[in-house]
Amino acid sequence: MTGSALTLILVAAVIHATWNLLNKQASGHATFTWLVAVLSAVLYAPATITVIEVWRMNIDFVTVGMMAGSAALHTAYFVLLNQGYRVGDLSLVYPLARGTGPLLSSLAAILFLGERPSAIALGGALLIIGGVVVLTTNLSQLRQSGAQDAVLYAMVTGLFIAAYTLWDKQAVSHFAIAPLVLDWGANVGRALLLAPFAIKYSDQAVIEWREHKYEAIAIAILIPLSYILVLTAMRFTPVSYVAPAREISILIGTAMGARLLAEGDARRRLVAACAMVLGVVALAIG
């Protein structure tokens, strides 16, 4: 992995962990997910239109189809993630979801996309995944109320992480769709898909805006920024490298949960953090 790709991924990891902390604090209904999607679409529209005009991009049926597929996968991801946060801790849901995703996406990239990571890179991926296992095998934590439901939501969320990672990789590398344009289209699609929920639960949407408007605005800015950086890295870096390296955000997010939300177990997290840092170094060398 090149230094530029690693830099993009590490910056994205910090941003990603930050918006997940805000998301956990909001613990939003599906209407909150809709609200964030609408705000993202509006806030990033000027930049997207500029890119389309400057690059003279042709928005054809293939591009729209890739955007629609990305929108569907990301909608499921955000709804499941938010539901996990409603019933479980950040330090449980976040690492489980983020750890399951890269494992599946890396395996799929190797099996179906023909990617062949080096032995060092594979070792790094395994170290990161091993760190996730250490971080999330606290049986006393799993016995807490709602924890088992949170684990289920997190694992299914991980499946959608793997799915959208592979889908979006093809969109930006094979079909050469600009990352900003792809992400903006996915946000527009997500807003449209969730519009029926927003209309049905309009009172809830008003409450979400009144109580969490600042979180919604911040998340609406940070989610696209984080993912655009990752998509940019994926344009010139294999998925089997990018997907595991992204998961350094697990360390950052878990530290935020421990420090800011009082979700303890520091010793276990230190062991997991060391494994993940070593894994990222191995990926960079590989």
Is 248 or 186 the better-scoring residue by pLDDT? 186
Residue 88 DSSP code? S
- Answer whether residue 140 shows pLDDT above 70: no
From 31-35, 44-48, 108-112, 200-204, the region with the lowest mean pLDDT: 108-112
Q: pLDDT band for position 200 (50/70/90)?
A: very high
Return the structure tokens found at 212: 């969490």
Domain span holding position 159: 3-285
- The predicted pLDDT at position 264 comes to 62
- The predicted pLDDT at position 99 comes to 75
pLDDT tens across 49-73, in order? 999 999 888 899 999 999 999 999 9
- The predicted pLDDT at position 73 comes to 98
Q: Is the separation of the CB atoms in 36 and 227 below 8 Å?
A: no
Alpha carbon distance 55, 47 (integer Å):
12
For residue 208, what are the CA distances in angstroms to 22, 51, 65, 194?
13, 32, 31, 15
What mean pLDDT comes out for the span 225-250?
A: 86
Q: ∠ CA 66-72-73 to the nearest 5 degrees?
A: 90
From 3-7, 27-31, 258-262, the region with the lowest mean pLDDT: 258-262
What mean pLDDT comes out for the span 27-56?
A: 92
Return the structure tokens found at 15: 């941003």
Alpha carbon distance 77, 43 (integer Å):
21
pTM: 0.85
- Answer whether residue 260 shows pLDDT above 80: no
Q: How many domains does the chain have?
A: 1
pLDDT tens across 142-194, in order? 566 567 788 889 889 989 998 998 899 999 999 999 999 999 999 999 999 99
pLDDT tens across 76-129, in order? 999 999 999 988 888 778 888 887 776 677 777 778 878 787 888 888 888 878
- Answer whether residue 213 shows pLDDT above 70: yes
